[in-house]
Chain A
């Protein structure tokens, strides 16, 4: 293999260029598949990213019954933390809540004399899994001493739906499109093997091993896959940035945060390359299998 690497590579490249149109079609379909797969995966990734941010920022507020003393209110901490799915709970006293509220309107004298007694003691709670928000809120409501629980369920549910839908679509599309890519590449390489069936028969007759015959076709598939991955990655980058800029410039979508492509290009490139190589090599192995039974 080592000594023949140059030969395999030359033959693989020659095969690819000798069927220019089919190779172009195979690369094109690989690019399209990777692009669709990448786009849905990145949507799922961003939905997850936003969900985690929401989890960090959008804490649940559990208001404590006004009849409880300060000590009894603070003593609820262990009960709240014992509720399943609660990651952490921070006690905020009336005074702290009042100060925090007033701080938002520090230029407005109207709020400066606000009485802390109109606020309730509360716990600021973060969850482990935002997906179980409703169940956790319900469990918190059952804790003795908790008067009211406030959570922004609608926003959270929206992100969860987006993440799950994008996840399901991306997994389904990945499977379908990878099969389509393998099939198209396999057919392209079948053309090459059909063109070279006499050469393959001669090589078998002089004592070539299946491995020696297979490698140039594997390289052809590999090159198609790698070309598809590189072009697909470039287009994905452009598309992603265009969408990110569109979201950033939109008033209605200000809530969304899009991860900068510069922060995720490396794993995206790795996945594209890996998918391209797998599809290319898989397709070529499928194509050559029949021709080796000479």
Chain B
């Protein structure tokens, strides 16, 4: 479960990114986090992944209180979240298999576990047979699938996707979003940060709208353009 209670964030340069945000995302939810550029979406992602701490308020992520979390606990908190980025962030000199196995090794998985888990995840994201390919040999959509597979491979309870379709054409974007919907159907909480209105409106999901560091809307259905 993710819970933000009256969260404020002021950066060192004085920028007030969040001005008292509150919302809760229950386990198993699928949520779109939308809003214009500079509205505070990225700050929320950074708070959820432990890159920054709130200036005021409380951020709870899968049982961890982000304001009080120790440096040693952060890796263990991050293992509960799979993060997907717009630019994929794959290691280009490693194969698909190596990219995934590195993510598993990093959390202490053994060789047998790696051997069993990777084929399952690759099949889930539709990349069976691409184990030996390098990222550069794959299309943008396939690279994003590898990134999703990497986010999933350690079986996190939550997937946070930051503009996952920003570098893809509409058809590939729909495929990726459908894949995330399937993953959500398997029980994983999915939080998708996007500003692609068409895509959001295609899925009948909860939409939290952020504007000027505050929650401007929270409800099922359509992406309301903030004026």
Does A199 belong to the interface (CB within 8 Å)? Answer: yes
Contacts of B150 in A (CB 8 A): 206
Does B106 belong to the interface (CB within 8 Å)? Answer: yes
Q: How long is the Cα–Cα vector from A207 to B74 in the complex, in angstroms? A: 7
For window 49-91 of B, CB contacts with A under 8 Å fall at 49, 51, 75-79, 82-83, 89, 91
Contacts of B51 in A (CB 8 A): 294
Q: Mark A199-238, 1 if CB is under 8 A from B, else 0.
A: 1011111111110110000000000000000000000000
Q: How long is the Cα–Cα vector from A199 to B91 in the complex, in angstroms? A: 6
For window 1-44 of A, CB contacts with B under 8 Å fall at 3-4, 7
For window 178-204 of A, CB contacts with B under 8 Å fall at 198-199, 201-204
Contacts of B110 in A (CB 8 A): 3
The answer to whether A203 and B78 touch across the interface, beta carbons within 8 angstroms, is no
The answer to whether B89 and A207 touch across the interface, beta carbons within 8 angstroms, is no
Does B1 belong to the interface (CB within 8 Å)? Answer: no
Q: In the complex, which of the residues A202, A205, A207 contacts B76, with contact meaning CB atoms closer than 8 Å?
A: A207
Least CB separation from B79: chain A residue: A207
The answer to whether B107 and A206 touch across the interface, beta carbons within 8 angstroms, is yes
The answer to whether B89 and A203 touch across the interface, beta carbons within 8 angstroms, is no
Q: Report the contact-size class of chain A (Cβ under 8 Å from the partner).
A: 10 to 19
State the Cβ distance, B66 to closest chain A Cβ, in Å: 15
The answer to whether B154 and A207 touch across the interface, beta carbons within 8 angstroms, is yes
The answer to whether A209 and B105 touch across the interface, beta carbons within 8 angstroms, is no
Does B102 belong to the interface (CB within 8 Å)? Answer: yes
State the Cβ distance, B99 to closest chain A Cβ, in Å: 9
Q: In the complex, which of the residues A198, A199, A207 contacts B78, with contact meaning CB atoms closer than 8 Å?
A: A207
Q: How long is the Cα–Cα vector from A258 to B154 in the complex, in angstroms? A: 63
The answer to whether B91 and A206 touch across the interface, beta carbons within 8 angstroms, is no
The answer to whether B78 and A205 touch across the interface, beta carbons within 8 angstroms, is yes
The answer to whether B107 and A207 touch across the interface, beta carbons within 8 angstroms, is yes
Q: How long is the Cα–Cα vector from A203 to B49 in the complex, in angstroms? A: 13
The answer to whether B75 and A209 touch across the interface, beta carbons within 8 angstroms, is yes
Q: How long is the Cα–Cα vector from A213 to B51 in the complex, in angstroms? A: 17
Does B199 belong to the interface (CB within 8 Å)? Answer: no
The answer to whether A206 and B103 touch across the interface, beta carbons within 8 angstroms, is yes
Residue of A202, A203, A210, A212 with most partner-chain B CB within 10 A:
A202
Contacts of A3 in B (CB 8 A): 108, 110-111
Contacts of B108 in A (CB 8 A): 3, 212
Contacts of A206 in B (CB 8 A): 78-79, 82-83, 103, 106-107, 150, 154
Contacts of A4 in B (CB 8 A): 105
Contacts of B105 in A (CB 8 A): 4, 7, 212
Least CB separation from B110: chain A residue: A3
Residue of B76, B78, B91, B105 with most partner-chain A CB within 10 A:
B105
Residue of A7, A205, A294 with most partner-chain B CB within 10 A:
A205
Q: How long is the Cα–Cα vector from A3 to B106 in the complex, in angstroms? A: 12
Q: How long is the Cα–Cα vector from A153 to B17 in the complex, in angstroms? A: 82
Contacts of A294 in B (CB 8 A): 51
Q: How long is the Cα–Cα vector from A275 to B1 in the complex, in angstroms? A: 51
Contacts of B91 in A (CB 8 A): 198-199, 202
Contacts of A204 in B (CB 8 A): 75, 78
Contacts of B111 in A (CB 8 A): 3
State the Cβ distance, B75 to closest chain A Cβ, in Å: 5
Q: How long is the Cα–Cα vector from A201 to B102 in the complex, in angstroms? A: 13
The answer to whether A198 and B89 touch across the interface, beta carbons within 8 angstroms, is yes
Q: How long is the Cα–Cα vector from A294 to B89 in the complex, in angstroms? A: 15
The answer to whether A203 and B83 touch across the interface, beta carbons within 8 angstroms, is no
Q: How long is the Cα–Cα vector from A201 to B103 in the complex, in angstroms? A: 12
Could you write out 14 A-B pairs with CB less than 8 Å apart? Answer: A7-B105, A202-B91, A202-B103, A203-B102, A204-B75, A204-B78, A206-B79, A206-B82, A206-B103, A206-B107, A206-B150, A207-B106, A212-B108, A213-B106
A contacts, CB < 8 Å to B: 3-4, 7, 198-199, 201-210, 212-213, 294
In the A-B complex, list the 4 residue pairs whose CB atoms are closest, starting with the nearest.
A208-B106, A207-B79, A207-B78, A206-B103
For the A-B complex with A205-B78, A210-B75 known, give 19 more contacts whose Cβ atoms are closer than 8 Å: A198-B89, A199-B91, A199-B102, A201-B89, A202-B91, A204-B78, A205-B83, A206-B82, A206-B103, A206-B106, A207-B76, A207-B77, A207-B106, A207-B154, A208-B75, A208-B107, A209-B75, A212-B105, A212-B106
